[in-house]
Amino acid sequence: MIDRGPHPIEPWQLRETELPMDKLAQAESLFALSNGHIGLRGNLDEGEPYAIPGTYLNSFYEQRPLPYAEAGYGYPESGQTLVDVTNGKLIRLLVDDSPLDVRYGELHSHERRLDFRTGILTRELDWTSPAGKRIKVTSRRLVSLTQRAVAAIEYVVEAVDQPVRFVVQSELVANETQPKLSNDPRVSAVLESPLQAVSQDSDDEEVILVHRTRSSGQLMAAGMTHTVECPARTEVDVDVRADWGRTTVVAELQPGESIRVVKFLAYGWSSLRSETAITDQVSAALVGAKFSGWEGLVAQQRVFLDDFWDAADVEVEGNPELQQAVRFALFHVLQSGARAERRAIPSKGLTGAGYDGHTFWDTEGFVLPVLIFTMPDAAADALRWRHSTLRMAKERAEVLGLRGAAFPWRTIRGQECSSYWPAGTAAFHLNADIAAAVDSYHLATGDDTFIKDCGLELLVETARLWMSLGHHDRHGNWHLPGVTGPDEYSAVADDNVFTNLMAARNLRIAASFVTRFPDDARRLGVDTEEEAAWRDAAAAVYIPYDEELGVHPQSEGFTDYAMWDFEAYKDKYPLLLHAPYFELYRKQVVKQADLTLAMFWCGDEFTPEQKARNVDYYERITVRDSSLSACVQAVTAAEVGHLDLAYDYAYEAALIDLLDLHHNSGDGLHMASLAGAWTALVAGFGGLRARAGGLSFQPVLPTGLNKLAFTVRWQGVRLRVQIGQEEVTYDVHDGPDASIAILHEGQEIQVAAGKPVTRAVHPRKPLLPRPTQPLGREPLSALGNTTSTRH
Amino acid sequence: MIDRGPHPIEPWQLRETELPMDKLAQAESLFALSNGHIGLRGNLDEGEPYAIPGTYLNSFYEQRPLPYAEAGYGYPESGQTLVDVTNGKLIRLLVDDSPLDVRYGELHSHERRLDFRTGILTRELDWTSPAGKRIKVTSRRLVSLTQRAVAAIEYVVEAVDQPVRFVVQSELVANETQPKLSNDPRVSAVLESPLQAVSQDSDDEEVILVHRTRSSGQLMAAGMTHTVECPARTEVDVDVRADWGRTTVVAELQPGESIRVVKFLAYGWSSLRSETAITDQVSAALVGAKFSGWEGLVAQQRVFLDDFWDAADVEVEGNPELQQAVRFALFHVLQSGARAERRAIPSKGLTGAGYDGHTFWDTEGFVLPVLIFTMPDAAADALRWRHSTLRMAKERAEVLGLRGAAFPWRTIRGQECSSYWPAGTAAFHLNADIAAAVDSYHLATGDDTFIKDCGLELLVETARLWMSLGHHDRHGNWHLPGVTGPDEYSAVADDNVFTNLMAARNLRIAASFVTRFPDDARRLGVDTEEEAAWRDAAAAVYIPYDEELGVHPQSEGFTDYAMWDFEAYKDKYPLLLHAPYFELYRKQVVKQADLTLAMFWCGDEFTPEQKARNVDYYERITVRDSSLSACVQAVTAAEVGHLDLAYDYAYEAALIDLLDLHHNSGDGLHMASLAGAWTALVAGFGGLRARAGGLSFQPVLPTGLNKLAFTVRWQGVRLRVQIGQEEVTYDVHDGPDASIAILHEGQEIQVAAGKPVTRAVHPRKPLLPRPTQPLGREPLSALGNTTSTRH
């Protein structure tokens, strides 16, 4: 049984009842707070012990050279790494003459709670110093969802049974020491002292430090101000240096007395604006925060989150652990995107610097499908960020000898940062994934302004890319040789089914929007010939099929490859750390859903029997070394009737970070998998699919789940879906006139406010028996965990 | 017309009549001297001006980390770079108070001559110093082919018309300043001061400097001693420091008088032996050299070369330029391998540090076929070097999860140094190329001892590699997916025809030798089951064929790829500097002979019509951005009857460095292409093929060549072949009993000493018209150069 750490299963919070030193990194990620602009890892207030200190500003990065022992044309020369910026979380405490450090003295209790409804991280500790002074500390921390530049900490210290002199040092510290990281390619590059001091300012109240990155030349400011409440006399002192600022509060308290320090933090950065402009911006944010006060910030946070949960909550009856996990997941997805506002949503959000803080296709492929249905404005913002990088994508295409736009495989600011092209640049499907997200967003919202502003251009330029990537053979079939699909244990293959289908879809979507927005299309230089060429290529797309086996090869020839020796590698996962790419690429072994993802995203291109046979085939060779797999396997397993298997995968997707299933949650949480937990439930058991014709549902629950309820936003209406083992009820709640037409099991039904519709749920029989997985790669059993209250 | 520089066309030497400053690098390579152990670039005696200073000891390298922005399992962490060792070529001259530097004063004449029959580089200059003193210098330089550790320089200075005080400073200098090189991936990594001083020793006669590489820990010693002849009084002084040693000779000469300094140089290195052992070895070599004296060394050199030319010379009547070029080529091939003695033969010999001084498949694929027929002992030594790296190759295979031995794509000492696996590790054909060379060597010599010592083990371990790389599909066909063939504009493709055929050949050869040497085979653990599996796989090998086009795709699906846009890139060669690998790999464009090479090396697997059609197809898409291509295209063009085209390619292969066709001869000469010039003539127009049944010839000459004569060694006999336009004469000359059975145009004939056999030569008609090449990539016209005496 996997150890889930000291986390009781509770529906609306994640609680940690002890502080195990070997799980510090994971806890720092789990308890990270973010609004999509500022990210604070769950480091302890006093800074130490830590695993990875982390304070991040979305898209604030440093450049570093990408080295190549053998360079090649078009290789990116410069990478981007998310910077650990000035740490404002620090509040050190001196208890008489002992610094508060949980590794010394006696820690009677230590508890942290992340409340998904309040958005507040609470910490309570009861500690006796080495010198015998017992104290209690309660700190509460938030990153404001309503005041984007602001975070705040309420810090309360109580003298328990003896008089104590407390010195509270609240700090801003730049260029924190970074731990040495492993050689695992998935972790980030270490930046040594990335910040150069530009200026410092302080008065009795406020401290602001301004720094600049050495190479990327970005400017940032971090500021703090405080309020202090204390029954005794206090003295406050402010000190500042190039790389730190410190507000010191000293007081002597009697037993039972406590001192309360509220720390207001503000951050700002820009690559364009001046030092004074950023300093002013931070100063203003501090004034605003202080004006709201701690209670005001807390109240605003609650209002924001109530609104979010009203339209996003997923209720799961029958599996409390999954219930908690899916809310934890949604909370972090919300945090990653809520206020990103035309900045990227990185694959680990702002919970850690894993993968250098880069954004991949995870955003459009996994995170946006959730945001589109729960917080569509945030989805639009993320796509507007992509559009803001279009110039760079067009330049990249030109370097590569291609037309249109080639978006980067991994980036912070928009430039390609992937140094290994077979699993980077060659994975052009990213561009079709962006186009699909544009289409999905518009389907869900009807937001024509977005299309005119940027959506159409994204579609047109990606379509142009595909036309320059593909070609017709002498029989008129349209091919895409030498590209890399989603599965990273294959690369540079011919006619990857996923890529070919998604490219064709991209071309069709582009053509369709060009028809609907003809004036805007002409402005982009699209004429009817170009449009016709898109439709023609899409219609002629070649999809390999293995007639003998009755399955789709992931790419041309894939099913003729030798099988991977799963037995020999049964203890060696992830395989990428134990086998060369060469061997992985030329054998039948799949890191993550690829053909399976094609069956989800392009489901209409497969017959039910093909889906059943493909699921059966690929389940046996998919090792899920990627966090992007379980959620997709959940959806397709559910669709072909393997409900128990789907349940297991949904559970695994949701628990990925709570159980640290990939052993790297310490570098940051896996946003795509967390978002995928929602998808596994909603698209898997809810059977939700969005089509031009409207929302469609095919609900069914696995044994063990009594109820699954969720809400999706669709064309401005909130549709609540409550699925039981026997029946499903659809309801809308957005004003008295709200009404929506949906498909239930293929039949159109109308749902209006106050008129819920209930329909029977039909059991689903799989065509084939439940497939097996590679030895040692069976999913966790969701059913095995329904009654457990393990700690 | 390509500028061939100031090099008159002369049959037995390369002469340079001026000293153009923009061609220094090329000249340093062209005039490089080597015996395969020591390599001296053609730097000027006085050291400056220089383009790339270079003194090399075979396999003396420094390690350097191979950086990866994104590392992967099995990537080599450490590279090897040939070190520019202690320079002993330096003889500086002070003329009164002016240093001899051809960039100052007045240079009346400057000539260098590399004589292919004496092996001596002569330099004559006539110079007036800035102060008006006219002098003449004649220097002669050799790297001894008979005393492996020795080089020598005879330096004569004459006062022409006024009394002159000469100070001759003869030096050893370690850690010379290296020029900054370009970003071209084909040049070498720059090592800054790679040598650490260990010790220095000098007496009145001898100076020895001992150095060690910092990281690879190899130890080397360089020593010098001198003889001085002078009609006037001389004083000699010896001085030594950590990184240099200097012997200074001063004399004042009257007009017409001259001073003659002979410098004897010796080098030694080891990674195992002690400092004193190496010092002693170098000291002994110096004593030996001095004992022979300059004249003795010169005489030995001549004897060695006379013997070489007797069995290796190629006579070409009708094209003096080609005649000169092929002798130049053979001379450098000789130099690269003559005394390598179980060290590698690098792709640029010891003429420069291009490609980091690495050895690729060029050795077995291109250089050994020439040495096998001209200097078979040197070929055996090169294969024994490969065998000496077998342990590393087996370890590499194990790391890769494979069985047998995986020899490195590029290396100096045996460890894989390729950091880009799609064009390195994946090019497993190297292993079959080694096996083929073993087979060819044994065919030509019948050297069973070699097979027992190491040949059989090479065959067995490479066969085992192939068995772990290949697999049978469900129809019993044996496949090799995901490998890289010779063409570097394709990579990681399925069922590369060349690789599949060569792998099958490797398996068959191994099985055949195992049958012939059963005891040795059992010792290597080969049983009859293993042997049978080899034969079975070889028999079942899958060879893709495009029925519609009637040609072999280079790899599965290749002929379905889109055509490269040759028009758009017509001014952008080599393409690798202007287009990403991604695009090159997925289009029909060929860097170098691949399928074409398969038709040469595995000619029996193709029908004449297939060959004609394949040549026609691949000629149109092969851009020859590799120096390994023209010679192969020459052979296949000749075979299918495009004799003029073959002539052009033979010319291009031979002239590659004299005309600097790849613009990188300055980094070192292209040994494979130079060797390929011999192959183009002998296998192309001679139609020589070596088979188990014996040597086979299909001679025919192109228009413009009146005669082609060459000698090959076969089973201890020297067979001379003289081809005219009308007839061919076969003759043997190795003792009165020499006799050999050969095939002429498929018919067996017996040639015995004193009984030359003459046969008619039949004209060859091509099935198809002469094919075209990509725009701008037509070969040089050999015919256009037959009468030219351009300077």
**What is the model's pLDDT at position B181?**
61
Task: Please give the Cα distance from A13 to A331 (Å, whole number).
Answer: 10
- Nearest chain A residue to B76 by CA: give it: A69
Q: Which residues, at least 6 apart from B274, have a Cβ–Cβ distance to it below 8 Å?
A: B219
Mean pLDDT of B323-328: 98
pLDDT at B398 over 70: yes
Nearest partner of B40 among B183, B181, B139, B158, judged by Cα: B139
Residue with tokens 């958005």: A119
Task: Please give the Cα distance from A355 to A79 (Å, whole number).
Answer: 11
**What is the model's pLDDT at position A206?**
95
CATH class of B320-469+482-542+551-671+776-781: mainly alpha
Please report the number of interchain residue pairs, chain A to chain B, with beta-carbon separation below 8 angstroms: 137
**What is the model's pLDDT at position A790?**
35
Mean pLDDT of B682-706: 95
Contact between B655 and B678 under an 8 Å Cβ cutoff? The reply is no
Element at A453 (helix H, strand E): none
Number of H helices, E strands in chain B: 19, 32
Cβ–Cβ contacts within 10 Å for residue A211, how many? 25
Q: Is there a shared CATH topology between the A1-14+313-374+624-767 domain and the A31-304 domain?
A: no
Contact between B583 and A401 under an 8 Å Cβ cutoff? The reply is yes
Q: What is the pLDDT of residues B293-310, one digit of tens each?
A: 999 999 999 999 999 999
Residue A73 to residue B561, Cβ atoms within 8 A: no
A interface test, pick of B64, B70, B187 with most A CB neighbours within 10 Å: B70
- SS3 of residue B81 by DSSP: strand
Closest Cα in chain A, distance from residue B606 (Å): 25
Total residues belonging to chain A: 791
B719-725 own/partner pairs: CB under 8 Å, 24+ apart: B719/B695, B719/B751, B721/B686, B721/B688, B721/B697, B723/B685, B723/B686, B723/B699, B723/B761, B724/B761, B725/B701, B725/B761
CATH class of A1-14+313-374+624-767: mainly beta
Using a CB-CB distance cutoff of 8 angstroms, which residues of chain B are in contact with residue A416? none
Contact between A636 and A689 under an 8 Å Cβ cutoff? The reply is no
Query: Roughly what angle, to the nearest 10 degrees, separates helices A320-337 and A275-312?
Result: 150
At the topology level, CATH places domain A31-304 in Beta-galactosidase; Chain A, domain 5 (2.70.98)
Contact between B316 and B328 under an 8 Å Cβ cutoff? The reply is no
Residue B72 to residue A474, Cβ atoms within 8 A: no
Q: Using 50, 70 and 90 to split pLDDT, how confident is the model at A727?
A: very high
**What is the model's pLDDT at position A103?**
96
B interface test, pick of A70, A558, A567 with most B CB neighbours within 10 Å: A70
Using a CB-CB distance cutoff of 8 angstroms, which residues of chain A are in contact with residue B475? none
Is B734 exposed, middle or buried (CB count within 10 Å of its CB: 0-12, 13-18, 19+)? middle
Residue A401 to residue B579, Cβ atoms within 8 A: yes
Total residues belonging to chain B: 791
Q: Which of A176-180, B337-341, B392-396 tops mean pLDDT?
A: B392-396
Residue B67 to residue A67, Cβ atoms within 8 A: yes
- SS3 of residue A33 by DSSP: strand
Element at A11 (helix H, strand E): none
pLDDT at A111 over 70: yes
Mean pLDDT of B245-260: 97
Task: Please give the Cα distance from A511 to B120 (Å, whole number).
Answer: 73
DSSP state of A483: B
Considering only the beta carbons, identify the residue of A72, A185, A568 that sits closest to B581.
A72
The CA–CA distances, whole Å, from A441 to A386, A460, A691, B249 equal: 14, 16, 11, 86
The CA–CA distances, whole Å, from A338 to A235, A332, A474, A716, A717 equal: 39, 10, 50, 18, 20
Q: What is the pLDDT of residues A34-87, one digit of tens each?
A: 999 999 999 999 999 999 999 999 999 999 999 898 889 999 999 999 999 999
pLDDT at B789 over 50: no
The residues of B carrying an active-site annotation are 488
B interface test, pick of A77, A560, A588 with most B CB neighbours within 10 Å: A560
Q: Which of A488, A556, A619, A639 is catalytic?
A: A488
How many CA within 13 A on the CB side of residue A12? 10
Mean pLDDT of B664-684: 97
Task: Please give the Cα distance from A596 to A611 (Å, whole number).
Answer: 8
Q: What is the pLDDT of residues B728-767, one digit of tens each?
A: 999 998 877 889 999 999 999 999 999 999 999 999 999 9
**What is the model's pLDDT at position A240?**
96
Nearest partner of B291 among B144, B89, B141, B118, judged by Cα: B144
Considering only the beta carbons, identify the residue of A185, A474, A568 that sits closest to B72.
A185
Task: Please give the Cα distance from B711 to B313 (Å, whole number).
Answer: 7
Using a CB-CB distance cutoff of 8 angstroms, which residues of chain A are in contact with residue B402? 583
Considering only the beta carbons, identify the residue of A73, A419, A578 that sits closest to B576.
A73
First and final C-alpha spacing in chain A: 12
Task: Please give the Cα distance from B98 to B93 (Å, whole number).
Answer: 8
Q: What is the pLDDT of residues B39-72, one digit of tens each?
A: 999 999 999 999 999 999 999 999 999 989 888 9
Q: What is the pLDDT of residues B170-207, one digit of tens each?
A: 999 999 988 876 555 555 566 788 999 999 999 988 99
Q: What is the pLDDT of residues B207-248, one digit of tens each?
A: 999 999 999 999 999 999 999 999 999 999 999 999 999 999
Mean pLDDT of B667-677: 97
Mean pLDDT of A171-194: 76
**What is the model's pLDDT at position A190?**
63
- The full set of domain ranges for chain B reads 13-66+75-310, 320-469+482-542+551-671+776-781
Contact between A712 and A695 under an 8 Å Cβ cutoff? The reply is yes
Q: What is the pLDDT of residues A490-534, one digit of tens each?
A: 999 999 999 999 999 999 999 999 999 999 999 999 999 999 999
Q: Which residues of A424-457 are buried (b: 16+ CB within 10 A; e: fewer)?
A: bbbbbbbbbbbbbbbbbbbbbbebeebbeebbbb
A interface test, pick of B430, B480, B560 with most A CB neighbours within 10 Å: B560
Mean pLDDT of A181-204: 77
- Nearest chain A residue to B187 by CA: give it: A70
Closest Cα in chain A, distance from residue B554 (Å): 15
**What is the model's pLDDT at position A178?**
83
A interface test, pick of B565, B582, B584 with most A CB neighbours within 10 Å: B582
Residue A68 to residue B67, Cβ atoms within 8 A: yes
The CA–CA distances, whole Å, from A45 to A89, A140, A176, B177 equal: 6, 10, 14, 54
DSSP code per residue over B650-691: HHHHHHTTTTTTTS-GGG---HHHHHHHHHIIIIIIS--EEE
Nearest partner of B666 among B654, B655, B674, B657, judged by Cα: B657
The predicted complex's ipTM stands at 0.92
**What is the model's pLDDT at position B691?**
87
pLDDT at A29 over 60: yes
Using a CB-CB distance cutoff of 8 angstroms, which residues of chain B are in contact with residue A567? none
* Higher-pLDDT residue of A325, B65: A325
Closest Cα in chain A, distance from residue B312 (Å): 38
Considering only the beta carbons, identify the residue of A473, A482, A568 that sits closest to B586.
A482
Closest Cα in chain B, distance from residue A342 (Å): 28
Average pLDDT, chain A: 95
* Superfamily the domain B13-66+75-310 falls into: Glycoside hydrolase, family 65, N-terminal domain (2.70.98.40)
Query: Roughly what angle, to the nearest 10 degrees, separates helices A671-679 and A630-639?
Result: 10
Q: What is the pLDDT of residues B346-380, one digit of tens each?
A: 999 999 999 999 999 999 999 999 999 999 999 99
Contact between A333 and A347 under an 8 Å Cβ cutoff? The reply is no
- Nearest chain B residue to A562 by CA: give it: B471
Residue B494 to residue A585, Cβ atoms within 8 A: no
Q: What is the CA radius of gyration of chain B?
A: 27
Mean pLDDT of A404-417: 97
Q: Using 50, 70 and 90 to split pLDDT, how confident is the model at B74?
A: very high
Task: Please give the Cα distance from A11 to A321 (Å, whole number).
Answer: 8
Using a CB-CB distance cutoff of 8 angstroms, which residues of chain A are in contact with residue B588? none
Using a CB-CB distance cutoff of 8 angstroms, which residues of chain B are in contact with residue A568? 401
**What is the model's pLDDT at position A86?**
98
Is B197 exposed, middle or buried (CB count within 10 Å of its CB: 0-12, 13-18, 19+)? middle
pLDDT at A185 over 70: no
- Which tokens is A493 given? 């293959």
Residue A560 to residue B481, Cβ atoms within 8 A: yes
**E-assigned strands of A582-676?**
587-588
Q: What is the pLDDT of residues A554-581, one digit of tens each?
A: 999 999 999 999 999 999 999 999 999 9
Task: Please give the Cα distance from B392 to B406 (Å, whole number).
Answer: 8
Q: Which residues, at least 6 apart from A51, have a Cβ–Cβ distance to it below 8 Å?
A: A24, A25, A28, A179, A666
Considering only the beta carbons, identify the residue of B400, B482, B585 that sits closest to A482.
B585
Q: What is the pLDDT of residues A221-261, one digit of tens each?
A: 999 999 999 999 999 999 999 999 999 999 999 999 999 99
**What is the model's pLDDT at position B189?**
64
**What is the model's pLDDT at position B783?**
79
Contact between A262 and A230 under an 8 Å Cβ cutoff? The reply is no
- Which tokens is A280 given? 């002013």
User: A511 — phi, psi (to 5°)?
Assistant: -60, -40
Considering only the beta carbons, identify the residue of B419, B421, B491 that sits closest to A581.
B421
**What is the model's pLDDT at position B141?**
98
The CA–CA distances, whole Å, from A688 to A678, A729, A745, B436 equal: 11, 14, 10, 61
Considering only the beta carbons, identify the residue of B67, B580, B585 that sits closest to A73.
B580
Residue A401 to residue B583, Cβ atoms within 8 A: yes
**What is the model's pLDDT at position B787?**
39
Using a CB-CB distance cutoff of 8 angstroms, which residues of chain B are in contact with residue A420? 69-70, 72
Q: Give the type of residue at A767.
A: L
- SS3 of residue A765 by DSSP: coil
Residue B79 to residue A69, Cβ atoms within 8 A: yes
The verdict on whether omega for the bond into residue B574 sits within 30 degrees of 0, i.e. cis, is yes
- Which tokens is B774 given? 């990509």
**What is the model's pLDDT at position A786?**
40
Mean pLDDT of A757-761: 97
Average pLDDT, chain B: 95
DSSP state of A134: E
Q: What is the pLDDT of residues A608-652, one digit of tens each?
A: 999 999 999 999 999 999 999 999 999 999 999 999 999 999 999
